Amino acid sequence: MKYTRLPNTNIRVSKICLGTMTWGRQNSEEEGHAQMDFALDKGVNFFDTAELYPVPAKKELYAVTEEIIGRWFVKTGNREKVVLATKIAGNGDYTKFIRTTGFAKDALITAVEGSLKRLQTDYIDLYQLHWPERDTNYFGKRGYDADQHDFWEDNIHQVLETLRDLVQQGKIREVGISNETPWGAMRYLEESKVHQDLPRMQTIQNPYNLLNRLFEVGLSEVAMRERIGLLAYSPMGFGTLSGKYLGEVPPRKGRVTLFPQYNRYSNENAVAATRKYAALAEEHGLSLAQMALAFVNTRPFLTSNIIGATSLEQLDENIASINITLPNTILEGIEEIHNTIPNPSP
């Protein structure tokens, strides 16, 4: 395994992070526990979860994934071996069964206390804001609509004040953002620069993969110049970058088969690009999954690559991507395909 640090901290994390969003829906508790055992044995010390998991979000399954992790900590005694990240759910129609107060002080406190209880731990290493409160980007939408009007009032100072209090109480160590824009990232960073008693956002968890490299437009410069590290999620594009959906008969238990609303990586251009990437990988004796993950691992703005799997076989292959070095011929081939079909999945 290779390791890095959460930016501006002494917290050492594996460059492969174990994602957990299938546990409690696509995966049983037993399977989730087996994945954590396996990943830790392979040197993965960084686990990412959220109160919203498992996904798709469902009231009856609210926060089950955190509970599964908590019971594993109790069973194994491995809490101190893991750098643990979780998130508060943002606003959205699919989260209204959780709360409707966004990131107000009481909502943040309630969310942290709930996660601590379910995870059966005294502290969270990295606490993240899952989505912006304001109306801006979302799945399937590329840019900000200048004509839209929302009723969000800038409360970023207040959010950071609440997070500061939680840090001072020892309940969280570091903070981060997720699904953010360049404006949002800089707004948080500038607030903590001006008010140095406020915590600094150290990471940003956004999608990044061969079919969606929109992080490179604006946010990569923010990440490099401001030292805020990318935690790349969906590096396999909901599994489409394994190539398993390219056949005539989709896999019966695949995420996109089970949940067809997860179609952002399945449009015509995305499928065409995936076929090209699959051919490039085959030409060089790699699986598409290995090439897709190894590409993400090469990015200079990456702190950790969040992988997920529904089987130990998939998990083993995904973790092993850390040991793959892509030659220039593959990297040049990737850029050629990207320039032909850039970012087909918003």
Instruction: Give the total residue count for the chain.
Output: 346
Q: Where are the alpha helices (DSSP H) in 204-253?
A: 219-226
Q: What is the sign of the dihedral through the CA atoms of 221, 272, 131 and 85?
A: negative
In DSSP terms, 209 is beta-bridged to 212
Distance CA 147, CA 125 (A): 39
Nearest 5 degrees, angle CA 251-CA 257-CA 262?
Answer: 135
Q: Which of 53, 188, 208, 262 is catalytic?
A: 53
CA 242 and chain centroid, separation: 18
Rounded to an integer, what distance in angstroms lies between the CA atom of residue 269 and that of residue 216?
A: 19
- CA distance linking residue 130 with residue 204, whole number of Å: 10
Q: Residue 53 catalytic?
A: yes
Question: Per the structure block, which two tokens stand in for 237?
Answer: 């594009």
- Cβ atoms of 99 and 133 within 8 Å: the answer is no
What H or E segment, with its residue span, contains residue 68? helix 64-76
Tokens, residue 332: 């040049």
Q: Are 20 and 49 in contact (CB under 8 A)?
A: yes
d(C-alpha 23, C-alpha 49), whole Å = 10
Q: Where are the alpha helices (DSSP H) in 77-155?
A: 105-119
Catalytic site positions = 53
